[in-house]
Amino acid sequence: MELYDAIFYRKSIRKYSNKRLKKELLDEVKNICSDINYLNKDLSIKAHVIDRGHLVHFLMGKDCKVKAPHYIIVTSNKGEDYLQDIGFAMEEVVLKLTTLGVATCWLECNINRDDILEFVDLESEIEDLNTEENQVEDIEKEENLEEPYSIIAFGYPEESEKLFRNNKNADRKSIKHICRKLDKNLEQIVEVIRLAPSMKNSQPWILYNKENNIHFYEEKQKKNLKDTNKISMGIAIRHFDIACKKFDLQTNYSKMPVKKRIGKEYYITAILK
């Protein structure tokens, strides 16, 4: 199964078997997580495979609604569009796991840096410098600290849970809703964006197509979805990117001077060649 095909058949699995992945398969997951890519090369996004799921169960407590044998904790420093790039990087991982027959589910992250220091290798903490001269430097160092921003559950689905979607239908907004003035030749590209997963199924993406440019906007919603919606935007871009490669469309991503739109926040523009 190719990544493009996995988009149509993958679904979020919330019920997992207690059975752990075999060592060979878990090693393959770790290899995938060690080689992730994203748009902003100034970021340091890392995917930490936690093969002992009980550690995450303990840290999340009552908020752990999805109990799986394994998890991926995603960390990053802060930088331009770091949350979107987390979604972009990790959705490729999720789809690769789907092709391996591994179930996955994106989860909200309610743990912090100190919680995971004992079992996740992060860069050193900043020194406690109190002088005024070092105040600006301290702030910069703090922004460069790796923090956990997302968690992905993975493993084998519970026996009663099917791994793949039975059909290509999903509870998603129509293409007409998410994209304005769409060139009909691009419908098959935008269809994979429509199928992108999002926290609480918020589907925050709105696209404006003008000639060879597709402008991606985030539809502003509830405050408690602010960060997760940005991750969802990155997921949608990854789906778009996979579809472009499938249909041999060369794509560059850039920030452009675009029209401000009420209730929407501009993210990025895809330039098709």
Name the region of 200 (left: φ>0; alpha: ψ -120 to 50; beta: rest).
left
Q: Is residue 18 part of a domain?
A: yes
Beta strands in the chain (DSSP E): 46-50, 70-76, 103-107, 147-155, 179-180, 205-210, 213-219, 251-254, 264-272
Residues 23 and 143 in one domain: yes
Residues 141 and 179 in one domain: no
Residues 143 and 179 in one domain: no
What one-character-per-residue DSSP string does 46-73 give? EEEEES-HHHHHHHHGGG--S--SEEEE
pTM over 0.95: no
Convert the pLDDT of each residue in 113-163 to its tens digit. Answer: 999 988 888 865 544 445 455 555 555 556 678 999 999 999 999 998 888
180: β partners: 208
Gap between the Cα atoms of 49 and 71, Å rounded? 6
Containing domain of residue 248, as a range? 175-272
pLDDT at residue number 248: 92
Gap between the Cα atoms of 139 and 133, Å rounded? 12
pLDDT at residue number 128: 46
CATH of the domain at 112: 3.40.109.10
Lowest mean pLDDT among 27-41, 86-100, 220-234: 220-234
Neighbours of 62 (CB within 10 A): 5
Residue 52, both tokens: 């002992």
Q: Is residue 169 part of a domain?
A: no
